[in-house]
Amino acid sequence: MSMFRKPQPLAVLVLRDAPDVVAGLRRALESATDAERPGLERALALAEDSAARPDAELRGRWVRQRLAAAGHEGPADSVAAVKILRAAEPGLTLLQAVTYAKEAEEAEAAEAAEA
């Protein structure tokens, strides 16, 4: 095993269809009735908010979902959490699992600071 291995790409892809949803809502607003307009405007605002979220935040959500499914209640960046992530997604390298767990913990800390 070489210590100069090429870094592995991140295994969790963030799929974003929010831009398509935003575009569809904008088209719907163009022909909306007065009764439909408030609901579509609110939906558009929510979709735009979702589209603006960084990939790290979405990966953090993925991590929290996997940990919750396994019944893990401790810190997202603990050794136990990393082990759970690797069991849930066998293709994850140790580095990837640790990176995702740290992102999840950072996102949780940021949410707590905002509250």
pLDDT of residue 27: 95
pLDDT of residue 75: 93
pLDDT of residue 1: 45
Backbone CA torsion sign across 28, 30, 35, 37? positive
pLDDT values of the chain reduced to their tens digit, one per residue, 115 residues? 445 555 555 555 555 788 888 999 999 999 999 999 999 999 999 989 888 888 888 888 889 999 999 999 999 999 999 999 999 888 888 999 999 999 999 888 888 888 7
For 88-114, b where at least 16 C-beta lie within 10 A, e where not — what string? bbeebeeebbbbbbbbbbebbeeeeee
Model confidence pTM above 0.95: no
